[in-house]
Amino acid sequence: MARIDNLSNFLTDVGKAIKAKKGDETPIPAKNFDTEIENMQTGGGIVPRNVKNIQVKFGPTSIGFKWEDPDDTLDHAGSPYCKWKGTRIMYREGNEYPLDESDGTLVLDSTTKNAYKNDYYTISNLKPEQKYTFALFPYSDKDMFNINESNCNILSPTVTSFSDATDDQIAAILDAHYKGIIKISDYWHVGDTRKMHLSAMSSGTGANESHVAQDMTMVIIGIEHDNLKTPINGKTKAAVTLQCKEVLGNNGSAEYGYIWGSSTSTASDSNYSQNPRRTWLNGTFINSLPSGIKSLVKTVVKKNIANHSSSPGAGPDTEDKAFLTSYPEMFGSASYSYYKGSVALEGEQYAYYNSNARRIKYPNSNGLPGSSAYLYWLRSPSSRDSSRWIRVYAGGSASNLASTGSLGLAPAFCL
């Protein structure tokens, strides 16, 4: 039998392993001590210690790890008798840990010491909320693997709520939806809200009014409702439609706007495609959004009626990043004597607006409603005469007003 030069050190590790099982220490027990004795007799060595300082981050379809690889194990003379060679990551679906370095799906075999001490290694395309067991198996230059369960964890990718997600998380969740990895309606819902900071909007192209910088509560009014101008990975609907929950305001006082952009422009206001307000919406308003959200805005196709007549017919579709909602998008097929369009001509009702109470809006006060409900414009022409447009009254019902009047604005957009 070959001489066992490091037997005393090996037996010390056996003692430490027994203590570790009792919770006294954390060094790693060997895979099989009988096998280890044989390995030491033939130069096989022992297993490395645990990986250290494991940290985890979550995405909607991903999990990232960073950790420290174990140091070499030294004998009493300071010479290594267990050299770290690499760390292997395996995973399985469910609650059962990978039993060893060949059990489950191999994710990574890292042979650069502490390559992921400071930077996360990210595992992507996982199923949201699916439980996975992960194990990090450090191994020696003799290919002896540490299979201690302290290197294992049960984890699930998480989709952050709409209200709590960072802009980067919003982007990751939308990306996962458009790639078909998740279905957005499983995680975000109509009526979900989040605050967004709108930068100041100065008067200019398309409108002659200005608006102060303000925090605005945005509400999801529809999920996979609006038609994308350009399909994304075969998807033809925008993931979510958001709208200002209140009208633009300054500390609870409404900031007025003319439907046609100014009080003097009334001669050619025949349909929404010609409306200067669209220029303001797609420029000034969109540019007020946080940069991380602005980059996610999708161009959608909006239906419009042709004019203010009693039988208007279909008008030109518009391609918009931001828009005002129409009468049927707010009220569905409900009739109003001075509106002669239809769902077919101006779009289906958003799921959020299923009651008058939800159609009531207040002047914004830094993300909160002001004290009194306020009227606001829709993009639908009124049949009452050629200068009138539909508005939502303070109580949530429909009304109309000449374009020389000024009302509140509640822009909408899609991500």
Tell me if residue 280 falls in helix, strand or coil: helix
Residue 356 CB-density burial (10 A; 0-12 exposed, 13-18 middle, 19+ buried): middle
pLDDT for 44 equals 54
Q: Give the domains, in start order, of the chain with CATH numbers.
A: 49-155 (2.60.40.10), 167-414 (no CATH)
Q: What residues contact residue 273 under an 8 Å CB cut-off, 6+ apart?
A: 304, 315, 316, 317, 318
pLDDT at 96: 86
H helix or E strand, kind and range, residue 58:
strand 52-58
Give the pLDDT score at 128: 77
Band the pLDDT of 33: cuts 50, 70, 90: very low
Report the percent of the chain where pLDDT is more than 70.
87
pLDDT at 235 (0 to 100) = 97
From edge to edge, which strands make up the β-sheet containing 398-402? 376-381, 388-392, 398-402
In this predicted model, what pLDDT tens digit does every residue of 105-157 receive, in sequence order? 999 999 999 999 999 999 988 887 788 888 899 999 999 999 988 887 777 77
Q: In this structure, which amino acid lies at residue 302?
A: K
Residue 265 pLDDT class (50, 70, 90 cuts): low
Q: What number of CA atoms fall less than 13 Å from residue 185's CA on the CB side?
A: 10
The pLDDT of 90-112, averaged and rounded, is: 92
Own/partner contacts of 348-352, CB < 8 Å, gap of 24 or more, are 348/225, 350/190, 350/221, 350/222, 350/225, 350/241, 350/325, 351/190, 351/221, 351/222, 351/223, 351/225, 352/190, 352/191, 352/219, 352/220, 352/221, 352/222, 352/243
HSE-up (13 A, CA, CB side) for residue 199: 11
What value does the mean pLDDT take over residues 271-283? 91
Q: Tokens 């967004």 appear where?
A: 196
Which among 308, 310, 300, 319 has a CA at the least distance from the CA of 267?
308
Q: Between the ranges 5-9, 90-94, 263-267, 407-411, where is the mean pLDDT highest?
A: 407-411
Percent of the chain clearing pLDDT 90 (strictly above): 56
pTM here is 0.71
Q: Kindly state the average pLDDT of the residues 65-69.
A: 94
Kindly tell me if the per-residue pLDDT of 216 is higher than 90.
Answer: yes
Model pLDDT for residues 357-370, shown as the tens digit of each residue: 999 999 999 888 88
CB 221 within 8 A of CB 350: yes
Question: Taking Cα atoms as reference points, which of 321, 317, 229 lies closest to residue 272?
Answer: 317
Average pLDDT over every residue of 65-81: 88
Q: From CA 12, how far away is CA 8, in angstroms rounded?
A: 6
Residue 353: what pLDDT?
Answer: 98
Distance CA 148, CA 152 (A): 8
Amino acid at 156: S
pLDDT at 27: 39
Cα–Cα distance, 377 to 244 (Å, whole number): 13
Distance CA 411, CA 211 (A): 13
* Residues written for the chain: 415
What pLDDT digit, counting tens, does each position of 140-199 carry? Answer: 999 999 998 888 777 777 677 899 888 988 998 898 899 887 889 988 999 999 999 999
8 A C-beta contact, residue 127 and residue 61: yes
- Where is average pLDDT lowest: 79-93, 184-198, 256-270, 379-393? 256-270
